[in-house]
Structure 1
């Protein structure tokens, strides 16, 4: 990079994103403590890049994805897409941006309307954007072929397809408006292992051909390692580590990341037997009653007094720009 060359602006920039849900009311009608599902999340995604969001169930990764595509409204924070702040826009104001920002859901059958034909399902985003019916159907046929399905099956219904095929339909629908960013929320976790590999291969090919950026939400760290350029690890609504996948997987800086990676099976049986498995005690705390200081300290084998009183901020840990929210990160 020359002295006069400016770094490319990120396609997506998320800053201090927060989502709070009302607490459950007791039997007497008293309101419970609010649940802070996402608690100050910030990250960038560049054009053509894949960022993985990983963590245990309930850590806030899916809620984060839904706020980015505005299926949920953020409580606070900003979401800037292609230079425009979209977090506070009304649905009418959001419509010009919506076509460039799409989502693939975890369960293909739950996300596809069983009463609609595949042609209608795939072309619906185009119809909403004002495309004519004939042109939308033509585009649907092209997308069926693009994702490896037979265009002649457009008039079938979702139940006539296998799980892997149904997920391909969901991917085709997400591509209908030629988006620049796709948020994929556990897109292969509901599929058989052999089918998972096929869908991951498809998503990688589509990224190469179409120049897509992905936010890939998953709990399977093996899949994330394969498809992602960078990884953000979430715990109790916060990012505790983020960086290049080779750094995060090769030398995790945060104890939680290290524990997660120790549970990923290794292909070499000898290496699997020899390595140390880190077992976290207890369950994650409730987001309605988070611990003081570092949210991970009740389960952390390295916790000290400062961890119980002061919340660590994301800071550079080691070389390469990786960041970790830990008072005692590994380098």
Structure 2
């Protein structure tokens, strides 16, 4: 069942949503995106060094494509996702969505594009207002876009059915649903305005394994039926492999490898990517015993004081002198882009 939002004509005119020809380029284009947070103040009132959570991220995303964004906790994945939908204001760089630069648009100027750019959050219960019914949660984006209350409620019931919930439960509150059901509500809310791109920030990490599979299958079905594009943020590489067309690996705020899923999983070029993949359990016990396990020494450096050169060099088994002094840029290696002076085995 495919449900398409049809807002009133007056709303479309008010938003300037005229039938312009679709741009031939990527749906989303990100260039040199950075996010720097001010340092924390100490007890003496002195502010610490600023933290560069995202440091020059660039990638393109085609319509209907899923890009997996992976990396250790604290590498900047969630911050990148929040900047894409303008929940955080980038320090520098640009975000072009559907051929329009939305990086510095005011909230009013962003509203016509907001309906096509939505987000699914990690914790389903904390992302839903406990004082609002499901009907109100799903209807709010539509009411902001100019829908009547009657049409918005009808649309909300259709969306509940689309994501596998019982429409008759529309007047219940979030606490009356399980974690998986609450995440379905969050997905329904993100679909309310018929978006073209959804940023999914760890959408299954807070759920049981059996429920994770249900939510992943639901998101895959919605992508096929509605033609959605996803930026799928996760630390579970097996989930990312299941849903993604391409994968970008982040380390300390930078993308260190990006390419087609199959090539990246079968022949990782960056030492950090190889270490991540070696930690993914294999279903075959014999193969699991035979394969090499790469154990990285030490913890990731602080983004408030990143090391010079390649930020991975303090933990890299292949590091040489050039790695300590010169920052590697993304360049083509084995059919994908890798930021490493010595890519490959």
Q: Same fold (TM over 0.5)?
A: yes
Corresponding residue for 1:276?
Answer: 292
Corresponding residue for 1:328?
Answer: 342
Runs of 4+ in 1 over 4 A off after TM superposition: none
**Helix, strand or coil for the counterpart of 1:242?**
strand
Distance 2:129 2:151 in 1: 21
The answer to whether the aligner puts 1:118 opposite 2:134 as a matched pair is yes
Instruction: For 1:60-71, list aligned pairs within 5 A.
Output: 60-71=76-87
Root-mean-square deviation (CA, aligned residues, Å) is 0.9
Distance 2:222 2:123 in 1: 20
Distance 1:177 1:46 in 2: 20
The answer to whether the aligner puts 1:191 opposite 2:230 as a matched pair is no
TM-score by length of 1: 0.97
Distance 1:109 1:195 in 2: 15
Distance 1:247 1:42 in 2: 20
Work out the number of aligned pairs and report it.
Answer: 323
For residue 8 of structure 1, report the CA deviation from its aligned partner: 4.1
Distance 2:168 2:46 in 1: 57
Question: Which digits, 9 at most, give the CA deviation of each residue in 1:282-319, with x for residues without a partner?
Answer: 11000000000000000000000000000000000113
**Helix, strand or coil for the counterpart of 2:135?**
helix
2:51 to 27, 32, 35: 35
For residue 29 of structure 1, report the CA deviation from its aligned partner: 1.6
Corresponding residue for 2:120?
Answer: 104
Corresponding residue for 1:308?
Answer: 324
Instruction: For 1:148-297, list aligned pairs within 5 A.
Output: 148-297=164-313
**Helix, strand or coil for the counterpart of 1:171?**
helix
Question: Which digits, 9 at most, give the CA deviation of each residue in 1:191-238, with x for residues without a partner?
Answer: 000000000000000000000000000000000001000000000000
The answer to whether the aligner puts 1:85 opposite 2:112 as a matched pair is no
In structure 2, list runs of 5 or more residues that go unmatched: 1-22
Corresponding residue for 2:3?
Answer: none
For residue 31 of structure 1, report the CA deviation from its aligned partner: 1.6
Larger deviation, residues 98-107 vs 122-131: 122-131
Question: Which digits, 9 at most, give the CA deviation of each residue in 1:107-165, with x for residues without a partner?
Answer: 00000000000000011110111111110000000000000000000000001111100
Distance 1:151 1:31 in 2: 51
Question: Which digits, 9 at most, give the CA deviation of each residue in 1:74-96, with x for residues without a partner?
Answer: 00000000000001111011000
For residue 24 of structure 1, report the CA deviation from its aligned partner: 1.1
For residue 170 of structure 1, report the CA deviation from its aligned partner: 0.2
**Helix, strand or coil for the counterpart of 2:86?**
coil
**Helix, strand or coil for the counterpart of 1:42?**
strand
TM-score by length of 2: 0.93
Corresponding residue for 2:71?
Answer: 55
In structure 1, list runs of 5 or more residues that go unmatched: 1-6
